[in-house]
Amino acid sequence: MANSAWSEKILQLLRRMNNFYLPGSCRPHCFRFEINEAQVGWVPPQVASLLARYPEVFTPPHGGAVSLCPSLDTYGRRSEAVDAVLQTMRQEGNLTCLKGWRDEYSVMSKFSDPPMMWMERAATSLFGVKRYGVHINGYTVSEGGEVSMWLARRSPTKQTYPGLLDNVAAGGLAAGVGIKHTLVKECQEEACIPAVIAEKAHPVTTVSYTYEEEDGVFAESQFAFDLELPREFKPRVGDGEVQDFYLLPIDKVKELLATDDFKPNCAMVVLDFLIRHSFIEPDTEPCYQEFVAGLHQTLE
C-alpha cells in the first residue's frame, strides 16, 4: 500500500473512533449526565426520553443535563436504583446493547476520583460514561534487534468484534479492580502468560477516544503497557476469548493496521506503539501530528 493511502486509512480510523467530536455528531443534542452536579457522561436524546419514565431515579432534563435524584446519596443507593431501571429496560428488549450482561464498571468524573456508583458495562454507552481498560503490546526482539509483535485473533463467538485481530491481551477495568491486577489476570486468562512474565510489563501511555454508534456514546481510555516477551515464549489460547496467536514482523503489523482486519481500538494501541518506538517518524510521515492528536482525545 502506498504511503499516502496507508496514512489516509489511519486517519479514517482515528476519525471514526473520535466521531463524537466531529460536525454532525449527536453531541450538541446530548444531555450531560450528572451526579451531585459533577458530569460523568453524556446521555443521547433518545435515551433521555426513556429515562423520563423513572422520575424517582432521574430528574427531568434541565439546563442541558440529566441528573440522578439527590435522594440517591450513596454509592450503593445510586448503583442499585440505576441497575433496577436497567434490568427493567433489558426485559423490555428494545435496546440491543442490554442483551449482553457483563461486568460492573465504576462511574466517576476522573479516573483518580472516588467512584460515585457502579454501572453494568453493557449500559455504559447509554450514559456516555467513560470506560477504562488495559491493553498489552506483547513483542519480541531478535538477536539482531528486529522487533516482532504478538497479535491475537479474537474468537468467532466473541460478543463484540468477533474474529478480528487484537492485542496479545486486553480487558476492561471492572469496578474495584486495579490496573496491574487486571493486566496480570488478562495475560494469564487470555494468553497463558504467567504472572512472573506479565508483571514485567511497564505502563507507557493512555489511548483515549470518544465515538458514537447506534448503541450510544462510547467514551474510553485504555492504559497501554509494553511487555517484551522472551524469544522462546509462545502465548497459548486460554479462556477461549482468542482463537489463535501470531508473531509478525513490525512491517506486516503496520500494514495490517490499515485493513478492516483489526479491532479498531487495538489498532490505535498498536499505532501508538509504532510511534513511541520510532517505527513512524515525523520526517517521513506527513500525518504524524494528526496521528498523535487522534490517539489522545479527551472530553471534559
pLDDT given for residue 265 in this prediction:
97
Do 212 and 83 sit in the same domain of this protein?
Answer: no
Find the domain containing 122 and state its range: 27-130
pLDDT given for residue 37 in this prediction:
92
Chosen domain end from 71, 103, 130: 130
Answer yes or no: is 299 within a domain.
no
Answer yes or no: is 11 within a domain.
yes
CATH number of the domain to which 95 belongs: 3.30.750.160
Chosen domain end from 70, 101, 130: 130
pLDDT given for residue 297 in this prediction:
86
Answer yes or no: is 12 within a domain.
yes
Nearest to 136 by CA among 69, 105, 182: 182
Do 256 and 141 sit in the same domain of this protein?
Answer: yes
pLDDT given for residue 99 in this prediction:
85
pLDDT of 300 strictly over 70: no
Number of domains in the chain: 2
Do 75 and 188 sit in the same domain of this protein?
Answer: no
Do 250 and 146 sit in the same domain of this protein?
Answer: yes
Q: Lowest mean pLDDT: which of 154-163, 164-173, 276-285?
A: 154-163
Q: How confident is the model at residue 94 (pLDDT cuts 50, 70, 90)?
A: confident
pLDDT of 17 strictly over 80: yes
Q: How confident is the model at residue 268 (pLDDT cuts 50, 70, 90)?
A: very high
pLDDT given for residue 299 in this prediction:
62
- Strands 216-228 and 130-141, how do they pair? parallel
Do 182 and 250 sit in the same domain of this protein?
Answer: yes
Q: What is the pLDDT of residues 37-49, one digit of tens each?
A: 999 999 999 999 9
Answer yes or no: is 300 within a domain.
no
Determine phi and psi for 97, rounding to 5 degrees: -65, -25
Do 268 and 200 sit in the same domain of this protein?
Answer: yes
Chosen domain end from 130, 158, 193: 130
Do 107 and 139 sit in the same domain of this protein?
Answer: no
Do 143 and 234 sit in the same domain of this protein?
Answer: yes
